[in-house]
Amino acid sequence: MKQYLFKIIFLSLIVPICLAAPFQMGKDDLCFLNKDPELARFGFLGKLGAKDGVCQGIAGLSKIYFENVEFRPNEPMDLDVDQKIIEALKTYRQKKVVKILIRGYDGLNTLCKEHRDVFLQQSIDLNLQIAVKDISLVYAEFNSTKDTPISTPKQQSDMHKTIQKQIQILKSGHSPMILVYSHVMLVLDIHYSLNEYIYTYYDSNYLVFRTRSYKYGADGLPLLGQKMLWDITLQP
């Protein structure tokens, strides 16, 4: 009986929330990192991207192909793949999305390697689009807080609401996008363990998954002193 109770207690300490899908680095990510020097070849915004990054553009493109595109690597390669890449980008803001089928490739990374310039340009374009249409909605609060740790009950409540919102987005089968200070990442998993929510996400600055955690107090709210996060997910 004691052993049985111990197992129950142990399992209660690690509560998985959800996983959108088995995102694989080297397959579902883009073939270049944030601030790639080659971005500078694409005009003024490209030069800006090579210097300051296009993180929301990269996160957005990965989200598109993770959610809206089906790859069939064992079938003959599509002759109209260039057009399908254009159509895929359009799905980012479509309320009703029909899966785009791309044959002859096993994932975004391989497709990107063969159409690198197209994806470099698209990352610049989508980066601007998300900044204007999505980040602008939280910019005033974001700009006033920036990298300052949360210090008020309202900020605790806002952080908690954001985390719970992103959990619901994952449960709906979509991947949230988070803004932490001046960087945007694609969330792949959130789970609860030992009084903290642990995020696993795709960060375009790295070739491996990254994690970050938000610790909670006995009052059921995030502890003070942690950096704020914002949800910039475009709702389907």
User: What are the DSSP calls for the chain, one per residue?
Assistant: -HHHHHHHHHHHHEEEEEESS---TTTTS-SS-TT-GGGGGSHHHHHHHHHH--HHHHHHHHHHHHHHEEEETTSPPPTTHHHHHHHHHHGGG-SS-PPEEEES-SSHHHHHHHSHHHHHHHHHHHHHHHHHHTGGGTHHHHHHHTTPBP-SHHHHHHHHHHHHHHHHHHHTT---EEEETTEEEEEEEEEEESSEEEEEEE-TT-SS-EEEEEEB-TTSSBPTTSBP-EE-PPP-
63 and 91 assigned to the same domain: yes
156 and 174 assigned to the same domain: yes
Rounded Cα–Cα distance for residues 183 and 73 (Å): 33
Q: Let me know if residue 82 belongs to a domain.
A: yes
Rounded Cα–Cα distance for residues 72 and 124 (Å): 27
Confidence (pLDDT) at 235: 59
Confidence (pLDDT) at 167: 96
Q: Let me know if residue 23 belongs to a domain.
A: no
Enclosing domain of residue 149:
2-17+138-231
131 and 152 assigned to the same domain: no
Taking a C-beta distance cutoff of 8 angstroms, is the pair 190, 197 a contact?
yes
The position carrying tokens 């595109």 is 69
Residues of the chain with pLDDT under 70: 1-21, 235-236
Residue 151 burial class via C-beta count within 10 angstroms: exposed 0-12, middle 13-18, buried 19 and up: exposed
Q: Let me know if residue 127 belongs to a domain.
A: yes
Confidence (pLDDT) at 137: 87
121 and 203 assigned to the same domain: no
142 and 202 assigned to the same domain: yes
Q: Let me know if residue 26 belongs to a domain.
A: no
Q: Let me know if residue 206 belongs to a domain.
A: yes
142 and 226 assigned to the same domain: yes
150 and 124 assigned to the same domain: no
Q: Let me know if residue 30 belongs to a domain.
A: no
Residue 91, strand partner residues = none
Could you tell me whether strands 196-202 and 183-193 are parallel, antiparallel, or unpaired per DSSP bridges?
antiparallel
Q: Let me know if residue 197 belongs to a domain.
A: yes
Q: Of 208, 184, 185, 213, whose CA–CA distance to 198 is shortest?
A: 213
- Residue 80: how many other CB atoms lie within 10 Å: 10
130 and 215 assigned to the same domain: no
Residue that finishes a domain, picked among 136, 157, 178: 136
Helix axes 116-133, 43-52, angle to 10 degrees: 80
Confidence (pLDDT) at 96: 75
62 and 123 assigned to the same domain: yes
* The total number of structural domains that make up the chain: 2
Q: Let me know if residue 24 belongs to a domain.
A: no
Taking a C-beta distance cutoff of 8 angstroms, is the pair 205, 226 a contact?
no
109 and 120 assigned to the same domain: yes
Rounded Cα–Cα distance for residues 142 and 210 (Å): 22
Residue that finishes a domain, picked among 83, 108, 136: 136
Confidence (pLDDT) at 146: 72
pTM summary value? 0.88
Residue that finishes a domain, picked among 111, 136, 161: 136
85 and 59 assigned to the same domain: yes
